[in-house]
Amino acid sequence: MYKTTGFISFFLRRLTGIALVLYLFMHLWVIGSATGGPEVFNARLNAVQTPIFKLLEIALLAAVVYHAFDGIRLLIVHYFDVTDYRKSLFYAAFVVAAILTVAGGIPLFLFMLEGAG
Amino acid sequence: MRVFQLQRWSAIALLFFLTIHMIVVHYPPFHINFDNILVRLENPVWKVIDILFLLSVLVHALTGAYQVITDVDRAFDYRKGLAWAAAVIGVVAFVYGAATIWAFQLPV
Amino acid sequence: MSNDNTQRTVTVSIQRFDPDVDKKPHMQDYQVEMTKGMTILDALHEIKTHQDGSVTYRRSCRHGICGSCAMLINGRNTLACKTPLIDEVGHKNRVTLGPLPYLPIIKDMVVDRTTFWEQYLRVKPWLIPPDDIPEKEFRMSKEEVNALHDAESCIMCGACYSSCTVIGLNKHYVGPHALLKAFMRVMDPRDEAPGQRLADLDGADGVYRCHTVFNCIDACPKGLNPTQAIETLRKLAQKRKKFETTRRKRQQHLHEPIPAK
């Protein structure tokens, strides 16, 4: 195994990507209940808005934000000749993703505590 | 159109749509129920935006999954079949998702 | 500058595999007296000559130009002949050597490079000259030479190919070494068929299989940039008709002197 920052970013991109595809289809199924009318929809939505799901949503946010900024990093590499700065770009994408995850995670966490209490 | 281009353009579209989605639907966090989604989706502009969002997210997810699978040596030989499977899943999921978006309207 | 730390005994840990005896590779340690200016390849010679004649590796020129001695040194692909031992041993006085990863091992550090050469031939690495060959010489401008980014100095050592994560997963992929060569031919104003070359690479096992992991840049002992070459090929592949037309026009002036700026 050849381990570099490039490999780590590739691995995380794949991991979050696969997780997000699986999430997407679950998400479609959950909100798909809307075709059955408001009652079915609200019942199914209530089942996935318990504190444990809120906690999972923070992980989901982390995956989405990391995947997005890793993608932006690749777009930058594609459209500009910046391969010399590949390591800095990787760290930048990672740091920005971490900051946004915390920024979005705190309100989610507080909301979860509120719902539990 | 190459899978690569499909994936790239859907990625750029997603940067736009997903930002909207996160801000409008999930921020600040609130308890989701039928009625508070209905308030927004009554407007046909939002219905169009959500359908375009659905389209780009499906394209990106399925091209991404296709790329991940065909990266493996053995699966590479079956890429024609995999591409067709992805297309079928995409169409079915799109119809299903579009029906969901359509379902958000006031009872007549 | 004298360095007192130079003279010391270091441990060279080598991954051994003998297909006749072993089922899977194992590590074996050797003690080597490090002398001033000793390279990894010198240490391997020392081991093979004085300690264990069965240690097997490829080497030829010792000048970093033949590309035979590429191997995995402390987890990084590079040439054994141009890597000083002192830079790699660190505080633990220890260096780990292994064969190029992701390739079938024949014995010890000798790997089977069949796919490497097959993919190389696939991109037609030779120049396809125009029918109308100038009487004296081809003329290239400074900009045209610079656009090649020294791609011609590739020595085909395989360090980039075997560091590539995609190659580890899928041997159908052309590989960074072949794409760098293709890039060089596509950018060469003397080459007649850049459009055809770009069309050949415009597939699922061509330029789009690269996932921009950058391992090839980190691995290249010549400091070349296959990733940038692949990105350039991707952009050109999308407008290859226009590129081909520009090339045709350019080739009508190949024998003329480059106008001074």
Q: What is the pLDDT of residue C137?
A: 83
Choosing from C47, C78, C111, the residue where a domain stops is C111
Which token pair is C187?
């950018």
Q: What is the pLDDT of residue B22?
A: 86
Looking at the fold, whether C118 and C54 belong to one and the same domain comes out as no
Using an 8 Å CB-CB cutoff, list chain A residues near B12: 75
Mutate to test the interface with B, among A10, A22, A27, A31 (most CBs of B within 10 A): A31
Burial C96-114 (b: 16+ CB within 10 A, else e): bbbbbbbbebebbbbbebe
Looking at the fold, whether C192 and C219 belong to one and the same domain comes out as yes
Burial C245-258 (b: 16+ CB within 10 A, else e): eebeeebeebeeee
Percent of chain A with pLDDT strictly greater than 90: 53
Inter-chain CB proximity C172 and B73 less than 8 Å? yes
Looking at the fold, whether C121 and C93 belong to one and the same domain comes out as no
- The pLDDT tens digits for B71-92 are 999 999 999 999 999 999 999 9
Which token pair is C188?
């060469």
Looking at the fold, whether C32 and C103 belong to one and the same domain comes out as yes
**Rounded-to-integer distance, Cα C196 and Cα A37, Å:** 57
Q: How long, in residues, is chain B? A: 108
Burial B56-92 (b: 16+ CB within 10 A, else e): bbbbbbbbbbbbbbbbeeebbeebeebbeebeeebee
Identify which of B2, B3, B76 has the shortest CB distance to residue C170: B76
- pLDDT of C159 over the 80 cut: yes
Backbone φ and ψ of C175, nearest 5°: 105, 150
Which residues fall within 8 angstroms of residue A18, CB to CB, at 6 or more apart? B65, B68
Q: What is the pLDDT of residue C260?
A: 66
A contact set with C (CB within 8 A): 1-7, 9-10, 74, 77-78, 81, 83, 86
Inter-chain CB proximity A83 and C165 less than 8 Å? no
Closest CA to A104 of C201, B27, C29: B27
Q: What is the pLDDT of residue C2?
A: 46
- The pLDDT tens digits for C55-108 are 999 999 999 999 999 999 999 999 999 999 999 998 999 999 999 999 999 999
Q: What is the pLDDT of residue C138?
A: 84
Upper half-sphere CA count for residue A6 (Cβ side, 13 Å)? 23
- pLDDT of A1 over the 70 cut: no
- The pLDDT tens digits for A43-99 are 888 888 888 888 898 999 999 999 999 999 999 998 888 999 999 999 999 999 999
Subunits with 3+ C-beta pairs closer than 8 A to A: B, C
Looking at the fold, whether C95 and C148 belong to one and the same domain comes out as no
For residue B1, what is the nearest residue in chain C, using CA coordinates? C238
CATH number of the domain encompassing residue C121:
1.10.1060.10
- Contact at 8 Å (CB) between A87 and B10? no
How many structural domains compose chain A?
A: 1
Long-range contacts, B20-25 (Cβ 8 Å, 24+): B20/B49, B20/B53, B21/B53, B22/A64, B22/A104
Looking at the fold, whether C13 and C104 belong to one and the same domain comes out as yes
Handedness of CA A58, A63, A68, A74 (dihedral sign): positive
Q: What is the pLDDT of residue C255?
A: 78
Which token pair is C138?
């081809």
Residue span of the structural domain in which A34 resides: 5-116
CATH number of the domain encompassing residue C100:
3.10.20.30
Q: What is the pLDDT of residue A50?
A: 82
Q: pTM for this one?
A: 0.90
How many structural domains compose chain C?
A: 2
B40-44, C23-27, C253-257: range with highest mean pLDDT: C23-27
Q: What is the pLDDT of residue A117?
A: 52
- The pLDDT tens digits for C19-57 are 999 999 999 999 999 999 999 999 999 999 999 999 999
**Strand pairing class (C8-16; C105-107):** unpaired
Q: List helix spans (H) across B1-108.
A: 3-26, 34-41, 44-70, 73-76, 79-103
Looking at the fold, whether C84 and C151 belong to one and the same domain comes out as no
What CA dihedral angle connects A46, A52, A56 and A58, to 10 degrees?
90
CATH number of the domain encompassing residue A72:
1.20.1300.10
Looking at the fold, whether C99 and C159 belong to one and the same domain comes out as no
Say whether residue C228 is in contact with chain A using an 8 A CB cutoff.
yes
Residue span of the structural domain in which C33 resides: 8-111
Q: What is the pLDDT of residue B107?
A: 66
pLDDT band (50, 70, 90) for residue A37? confident
- Contact at 8 Å (CB) between C26 and C16? yes
Q: What is the pLDDT of residue C253?
A: 82
Say whether residue C213 is in contact with chain A using an 8 A CB cutoff.
yes
Q: What is the pLDDT of residue B36?
A: 79
What's the start-to-end Cα distance of chain C, in Å?
Answer: 46
Distance (Å) from the alpha carbon of C115 to chain B's nearest alpha carbon: 13
**Rounded-to-integer distance, Cα A23 and Cα C74, Å:** 39
Distance (Å) from the alpha carbon of C166 to chain B's nearest alpha carbon: 7
- Contact at 8 Å (CB) between C12 and C32? yes
- Contact at 8 Å (CB) between C230 and C207? yes
- The pLDDT tens digits for B47-73 are 999 999 999 999 999 999 999 999 999
For residue B17, what is the nearest residue in chain A, using CA coordinates? A68
- pLDDT of A21 over the 70 cut: yes
**Rounded-to-integer distance, Cα B102 and Cα B52, Å:** 13
Say whether residue B99 is in contact with chain A using an 8 A CB cutoff.
yes
What does pLDDT average to over chain B? 89
On whether residue C257 sits in a domain, the answer given is no
**Rounded-to-integer distance, Cα C14 and Cα C95, Å:** 8
**Which of helix, strand or coil describes residue B51?**
helix
Identify which of C211, C218, C227 has the shortest CB distance to residue A10: C211
- The pLDDT tens digits for C197-254 are 999 999 888 999 999 999 999 999 999 999 999 999 999 998 999 999 999 998 888 8
On whether residue C178 sits in a domain, the answer given is yes
**Rounded-to-integer distance, Cα B102 and Cα C118, Å:** 54
- The pLDDT tens digits for B16-27 are 999 999 888 776
Instruction: Tell me the DSSP string of C152-174.
Output: GG----SHHHHH-HHHHH-TTS-
pLDDT band (50, 70, 90) for residue C1? very low
Query: How far apart, in Å, are the Cα atoms of B76 and each of B43, C76, C123, C171?
Result: 45, 28, 20, 10
Identify which of A1, A10, A83 has the shortest CB distance to residue C228: A83
Inter-chain CB proximity B72 and C170 less than 8 Å? yes
